[in-house]
Amino acid sequence: MRRAGLPDLRSHDLRHTCATLNVKEWVHAKFVQELLGHATRAITLDTYSHILPGMGDQTATAIEGLLA
């Protein structure tokens, strides 16, 4: 990691990043659950995914499009 100039991360941190980025891109939660090998979607969504700046903007835009 140091040779590549990357910050110190545990491989487990990458699982959280994977979940978060997939949820951000609207990948179906069931698929992300299977990808990460979790027993339930709740584990994936409640424990492994995190809110990123701008996620609310996507939701507002989607609702705006439905109402237009």
pLDDT for the residue numbered 37: 97
Q: Higher confidence at residue 42 or residue 4?
A: 42
pLDDT digits (tens, 9 = 90+) for 19-49: 999 999 989 999 999 999 999 999 999 999 9
Distance of alpha carbon 32 from alpha carbon 8, whole angstroms = 25
Residue 6's pLDDT band, with cuts at 50, 70 and 90, is: confident
Distance between first and last Cα of the chain: 48
What are the sequence ranges of the domains in the chain?
A: 11-67
